[in-house]
Amino acid sequence: MPKRTPKNPTTLERRRRKLAAQIAEIDHILPGSINIAMNRCGKPNCACHADPPKLHGPYITWTRKVAGKTVTRRLSTEQLERYKPWFENNHRLQTLISELQTLGIERLEADQHHR
């Protein structure tokens, strides 16, 4: 595998500033994941067993970790619509943080190369 040439520290600093500005623009965040389920019940004559079926739901759950334990909470459709951007903001923030970490590693390598 060929050795990579480290990037210029100035280029890395420009990218770091851009990432920091994008992080600063993020508003509210909510961690965790959303699951939306549509179910059939156990009543054989229910519409959920018809052809085509009319399933029960949607049942919306928000799952996250709190103090190392999984916590699940039900959300209404209205709550999902209201808070969906917050979940998307959290995903965006995690992506930006990961990129910032990679950039930090590249900067360390560039600094060592330019000694």
What pLDDT, in 10s, does the model give residues 8-64? 778 888 999 999 999 999 999 999 999 999 999 999 999 999 999 999 999 999 999
Question: What is the structure's pLDDT at 79?
Answer: 97
Instruction: Tell me, yes or no, if the pTM score tops 0.85.
Output: no
Cβ contacts of residue 109 below 8 Å, gap of 6+?
6
Question: What is the structure's pLDDT at 7?
Answer: 73
Start-to-end CA span in the chain (Å): 24
Q: Over the chain, what is the mean pLDDT?
A: 91
